[in-house]
Amino acid sequence: MAQMSARSYAKALLQEIEGRSGERQTARLAEQDEDTVQKGAETFLNDILDHISNYEMEHRADFLSACDEARLRIAAGQRDSSLYGVMSLVCLTLKLLDRRFQSPDQEAQREADEYCTALFADPQIKKAIRLVYRPAGHAADSSEARTWDDLDFGTLEYHKAGTTSFILKGRMSRAVNEAGSRPALAVKCVLFPWNKLAAIARATDAYAATYGGDELTSVIVKPIASSDRWVIMPFQPGNTLGEHMSDFAAGGPSMAARLEKAHDIAAKLTAALHLLAGGAPVDANNPQHQHLDLSPNNVILDRETGEFRLIDLGVNHLYSRQVGIAEHDDSVYIAPEIKNRRPESVTADAYSLGIILMEIVAGSPPRDGRTPEEIWTTSPILGRVLEDLIDERPERRLLLGPAERGFTFDDLRVHLDFHFSLVRQESEAKDDHFSRPFAKYAPTSREVATQFKQVMKWRRLGDHRPRHEEYLLLFSVIATASWWFIAAKTALLKLDDLVAGELDLAAFAADAGLAANIVAFCQGLVAAKYYQTVLARLSVKEIPGRLARTTELLMRSMAIVAVPTTILSTFWAGLYWIWPWTCAAGALAVAACNGITLRLATQTVRASSREFSTVPEPGKVFARGFEQWWWTMLIYAVTIVIIAGGVAAGLLKDIWAYVFILVVITIGVHYVSKCVGAGPAVRGSLARAFFGGERLAILARREQAHG
């Protein structure tokens, strides 16, 4: 029978899919020789995107479904032919292309993997792969061609889908030693039509030469051979980091467990990247010692050692805005400069690491390139250290690290390890049934204990005395002491009276200072919670300017804001009547602090948004309505002033009704709703805003140092 040209074979194959091929043409397709099958199938697959578009536009039907129907028709009469194998390969390609162009969906990917696995139950698809993926740009006696021919294609089985490829597991046809061992191999086949893109074909062809050398670290799963369409490497047993993270997330881990997992992965991944860099500073001019396509699916956990092994190194050209899938799947982990074809970066892998760690802590990767609010709410320390990794501009990353020497992943490992150890001292990182609830609801929030442990960590670091941390600890101690002073003075029931049985309820009810004590106690309670939950870990000393100095003064004054009002209204019987005025004064002070803090944060966000890509979008800067805190507190203070004036003038008589209302507002709104409910999120958004100001100050100092 006459052999077809490649174009004729491709045209006849399309007619077969469309159901326009008769029995004679089907039989003719099935009897073509290997050379025709290879060239014809390659021609068809190179144009597969056009076939999809044209078919679905003309027939208003799914092209993959049509191919599946054609495959089943062929199976009825030509199951043992090359045509059935080629059609199975077409179906495999279509299924995986469809997943690449869809949004990430684990269930859909699992269904696609099951579909592809079932295709490999028939030997014809393996024969089709042997023909279609045969090295085209290499001589018949080249090492690439010999390696391909030495594969035992009968052992091939589908393993999983890659971003631009499908990965098979198989063995060589010949033993590699006298014991007859045939180690398992991974065969990565680049999907059509992407393997015809020149950049992808060149990178794939050179992969073995680039990453297979003995001088490179064993942390890489080193390739054995590669051509423009495939890479063959030892099969590395173990799950990918992506699978490990997915299994971990499926268990519904607590925040403490997420932080511990992120810490562990940060340590292992930085160690692997440091080995990849040759134990030296990362060199932008030597991309061979960087990953540049670091994502959870390109890291394998060694089943025996638990250490990380790196696969699929080098720039993934599909993320270079060429094919249109840049916003899907693993592209979220890739540094913007790599997507924009500027691989001369020393921090591209650090960016990817930051995104991976954020996904572990927050549950999903940040697709907008900004640190998830949940991370800042959990721990401003963690928010600072992770946000420092992911700015869109490489020169704006790692501003918290040393600037005087080259960047190494070992330095980053130490940096992350230390800051994770600080985070683990915080109540949010505790997994017991006491620490977190107690810190959430107690007026002192366990802040002194937390900050004391962090100061001890800083001191053990030994680089310098942690004056900033000691400064914040001092005011947390003052705030706690202020609360206990107020509680002791205004306590409605004394413990010694209860123990001695000397409680006189009649005298208690008739006490002229009872109203003042109740209001002062509630003010002290809220003041302590407000400072310890929202302000205790915040400082703007690194931000220059008068507004920042004023803000710092006001924030620290909140540690003792309720002390003067308590002393004035409860220490002297002759001044018991001024409790409404002292209550109003305290509210005015808090309103001033909130207003000035908001103004500085707003100005800082506006200024830092011109330099940093991680700054939140307008309208998403402040959490839980913090913009309203200052004026609602101001209205509250004015209302109390009106009540105070009415009481003083004798116009308002029912004092206990007003005391009751103040207690309900103070405890219900200010303590429970604002401090307990919204406090951590507000603290996180303010810390994020002030971190922008800190980074601006660091940039200014560096620019000044460099003249």
CA–CA distance, 147 with 142 (Å, rounded to integer): 9
Distance of CA 651 to the CA centre of its chain: 59
Classified as helix, coil or strand, 467 is helix
User: Is 463 inside a domain boundary?
Assistant: no
Residue 146 token pair: 């010999």
pTM over 0.85: yes
- The CATH number assigned to the domain holding 145 equals 3.30.200.20
445/1: higher pLDDT: 445
Residue recorded with tokens 């008769």? 22
> What mean pLDDT value characterizes the chain?
88
* One domain for residues 261 and 333: yes
Residues 6+ apart with CB under 8 A from 24: none
Query: What per-residue confidence (pLDDT) applies to 347?
Result: 94
* One domain for residues 515 and 552: yes
* One domain for residues 23 and 166: no
The mean pLDDT of 679-685, rounded to a whole number, is: 94
Query: What per-residue confidence (pLDDT) applies to 499?
Result: 47
597 pLDDT more than 90: yes
The predicted-structure confidence for 388-422, as pLDDT tens digits, reads as follows 999 999 999 999 876 557 899 999 999 999 999 99
The predicted-structure confidence for 439-475, as pLDDT tens digits, reads as follows 899 999 899 999 999 999 998 876 667 889 999 999 9
79 pLDDT more than 80: yes
Query: What per-residue confidence (pLDDT) applies to 509?
Result: 45
Domain span at residue 356? Answer: 250-424
* One domain for residues 121 and 90: yes
Q: What is the DSSP letter of 707?
A: -
Tally of domains within the chain: 4
The mean-pLDDT minimum among 63-77, 326-340, 416-430 falls in 326-340
* One domain for residues 386 and 509: no
329 pLDDT more than 90: no
Q: Where a domain ends, among 202, 235, 268?
A: 235
* One domain for residues 101 and 155: no
User: Is 240 inside a domain boundary?
Assistant: no
CA–CA distance, 30 with 81 (Å, rounded to integer): 6
CA–CA distance, 28 with 13 (Å, rounded to integer): 11
For residue 373, how many other CB atoms are within 10 A of its CB?
Answer: 18
* One domain for residues 549 and 658: yes
The predicted-structure confidence for 647-680, as pLDDT tens digits, reads as follows 778 787 778 888 898 899 999 999 999 999 999 9
Q: DSSP states of 613-659 as a string?
A: TTSPPTTSSSSTTGGGHHHHHHHHHHHHHHHHHHHHTT----HHHHH
Q: What is the DSSP letter of 47?
A: T
- The CATH number assigned to the domain holding 399 equals 1.10.510.10
> What residues does 309 pair with on adjacent strands?
300
CA–CA distance, 212 with 205 (Å, rounded to integer): 12
The mean-pLDDT minimum among 352-356, 457-461, 478-482 falls in 457-461
Q: Which of 14-23, 349-358, 403-412 has the highest mean pLDDT?
A: 349-358
Query: What per-residue confidence (pLDDT) applies to 506?
Result: 47
The mean-pLDDT minimum among 40-49, 264-273, 290-299, 457-466 falls in 457-466
Q: How confident is the model at residue 320 (pLDDT cuts 50, 70, 90)?
A: low
Q: How confident is the model at residue 505 (pLDDT cuts 50, 70, 90)?
A: very low
The predicted-structure confidence for 236-262, as pLDDT tens digits, reads as follows 999 999 999 999 999 999 999 999 999
The predicted-structure confidence for 115-168, as pLDDT tens digits, reads as follows 999 999 999 999 999 999 998 766 677 888 899 999 999 999 999 988 789 999
Sheet with 165-172: strands ordered across: 151-161, 165-172, 184-190, 230-234, 225-226
CA–CA distance, 257 with 254 (Å, rounded to integer): 5
User: Is 580 inside a domain boundary?
Assistant: yes
Task: Give the H/E segment covering residue 354.
Answer: helix 348-362
**Which percentage of the chain shows pLDDT scores above 90?**
62
* One domain for residues 137 and 111: no
Query: What per-residue confidence (pLDDT) applies to 491?
Result: 74
495 pLDDT more than 50: no
Query: What per-residue confidence (pLDDT) applies to 162?
Result: 83
User: Is 441 inside a domain boundary?
Assistant: no
494 pLDDT more than 60: no
Query: What per-residue confidence (pLDDT) applies to 549?
Result: 96
Query: What per-residue confidence (pLDDT) applies to 321?
Result: 53
Q: Where a domain ends, among 204, 235, 266?
A: 235
* One domain for residues 106 and 57: yes
Which conformational region is residue 257 in: left (phi greater than 0), alpha (psi within -120 to 50 degrees), or beta?
A: alpha
Closest CA relative to residue 148, chosen from 123, 170, 130, 175: 130
* One domain for residues 522 and 594: yes
* One domain for residues 122 and 157: no
- Written as one letter, the residue type at 451 is Q
Burial zone of 65 (CB within 10 Å; 0-12 exposed, 13-18 middle, 19+ buried): exposed
Q: Where a domain ends, among 102, 126, 150?
A: 126
CA–CA distance, 567 with 524 (Å, rounded to integer): 11
Burial zone of 698 (CB within 10 Å; 0-12 exposed, 13-18 middle, 19+ buried): middle
